[in-house]
Amino acid sequence: MNFIDVKYVNMLSNRLERFTVKSTHPYRVNCRCPICGDSQKSKSKARGWILEKDNSALYYCHNCGASMGLRKFLSQVDPVLYNDYIVDTKLDNIKTQEAILPLDTLTSKVPEFRKSGSPLLQLRKISQLKVTHGARKYVENRLIPAPQHYKLYYAPKFNAWVNTIIPNKLPTEYDAPRLVLPFISNGKMFGFQGRAFDNDSLRYITIMLDESSPKIFGLEGVDFNKKYYVVEGPIDSLFVPNSIAMAGADGNSSGLRSVSNSVFVFDNEPRNVDIVNRMDKLLSEGKRVCIWPEWVISKDINDLVLSGVTPSQVQNMIDSNTYEGLEGRLALAIWRRCK
C-alpha cells in the first residue's frame, strides 16, 4: 500500500478502539467501527477493517456495512487529519518534481533583492521550473501570462522555508509546497504570501517581515504617475497592467501614493456585506471604483479569464465600469441587489 495511506492509518491508531495491524502485505487493520460503534453489548467486538486495495486503503465494516476510501473515512473520523491528508496526497507529485532549467538560460539582469541575500535565493521562480513541473502546470492552468511567471516562486516545503526567515514561525510536521508571492519595494522583500495548490487546506498564509508596511503586492513594478488598478488578490493583479493587490489589506487607500490615479477593483460579490461597505466608503471619499456589470457571473478577474475573457478585455471592462461620486453610489446600490 502507498506510504501516505499507511502513514495516516497509523496516525489514526489512537482514535480507533482495538486497533490491530493483522498483516502488512497485504495491509490489513482490524478495529471497532467508529461509525456505528460496533456492538454496544460487547466491547470485544471489532468488525471494522482497513484493507489494502489497488495500493490504497479502503475501510469496511461488517456490522453496519459502511464502505469508503481512506479520504472519506478520515473526513468522518478526524477532520484535522483529513485536511493534512488532502495536502499530502494532492501535492505528492509536485514534491517529487524538482528539476529546473539551468540558471544560464535566464536573464542576466539580477534584481537587487536577489543580490542582497534575500530568502528568495533559496527558491526557484516559476519561470525557472521545468515545463512538466506540477507547480508550473498549476500556474499555466490558471492562464497566468508567461511574462508574469518570474514574479512567482515555488517553495517545496513552505513552512520549513518560512522558519529559515523567522525561526519556529510555522509547524513543519506536515509541511507542504506553496506558491510564493513576495511583497517587494525598493528592491527589498518586506513580506510574502503563500498560496496553497489546492482548496482543501488553508488557502493563503501571509507573513509580514515589516509590520509597518502595508500588505500590498506589486509595489516594485507599479507606476503611480499613471492610472493604476488596486485589486483584491495578487494573482488577479497579474492579469491587469500597472496594478497592485491589497493581499488581505482592509481595502482602504492607506499606503498608496497618488490615490487620484487609482481605480479600486473588488471581487464580484454583491452579497458580500464587507466588500459592499468598503466600496461605499471609497466612493464616499471620492475614490474611483469598478462596479461589475450585472451579466458578469465570474467571482474575480482570474475566473473571468478562465471563462474565456482575455486580459485586455478585462481591462476594458474595468475601464468601462469605473464610477465615482454619487453616480458610483447609485450604481453600487443597483449592483448589490443584482444577484
Q: Which of 90, 113, 145 is the last residue of a domain?
A: 90
- Is 95 within the bounds of a domain? no
Q: Which of 5-14, 198-207, 275-284, 306-315 has the lowest mean pLDDT?
A: 198-207
Let me know whether 43 and 14 are in one domain: yes
Let me know whether 170 and 80 are in one domain: no
**Is the per-residue pLDDT at 110 higher than 60?**
no
Confidence band, pLDDT 50/70/90 cuts, at residue 248: low
Here the CATH number for the domain that contains residue 42 is 3.90.580
Q: What is the extent of the structural domain holding 157?
A: 103-208
Here the CATH number for the domain that contains residue 309 is 3.40.1360
Let me know whether 70 and 17 are in one domain: yes
**Is the per-residue pLDDT at 102 higher than 70?**
no
**Domain count along the chain:** 3
Q: Which of 211-215, 237-241, 286-290 has the lowest mean pLDDT?
A: 211-215
Let me know whether 115 and 86 are in one domain: no
Q: Which of 88-92, 113-117, 302-306, 319-323 has the lowest mean pLDDT?
A: 113-117
- Is 257 within the bounds of a domain? yes
Let me know whether 192 and 107 are in one domain: yes
CA–CA gap between residue 302 and residue 268 (Å, rounded): 11
Let me know whether 83 and 108 are in one domain: no
- What digits encode the pLDDT tens for the residues 2-42? 888 888 898 888 889 889 988 888 889 999 999 888 877 77
- Is 318 within the bounds of a domain? yes
Average of pLDDT values for 285-289? 94
Q: Which three cell numbers stand for residue 240?
A: 491587469
- What digits encode the pLDDT tens for the residues 256-282? 666 789 999 999 999 889 899 999 999
- Is 218 within the bounds of a domain? no
Task: Respond yes or no on whether the N-terminal peptide bond of residue 167 is cis (omega within 30° of 0).
Answer: no
Let me know whether 131 and 196 are in one domain: yes
- Is 173 within the bounds of a domain? yes
Let me know whether 73 and 112 are in one domain: no
Q: Which of 90, 119, 144 is the last residue of a domain?
A: 90
- Is 283 within the bounds of a domain? yes
Confidence band, pLDDT 50/70/90 cuts, at residue 336: confident
- Is 96 within the bounds of a domain? no
Let me know whether 234 and 330 are in one domain: yes
- Is 217 within the bounds of a domain? no
CB atoms within 10 A of CB 39: 14
- C-alpha distances in angstroms, 305 versus 145, 235, 239, 313, 315? 11, 12, 8, 9, 11
**pLDDT of 320:** 96
**Is the per-residue pLDDT at 181 higher than 70?**
yes
Here the CATH number for the domain that contains residue 182 is 3.90.980.10
Q: Which of 56, 90, 124 is the last residue of a domain?
A: 90
Local structure of 120: helix, strand or coil: helix
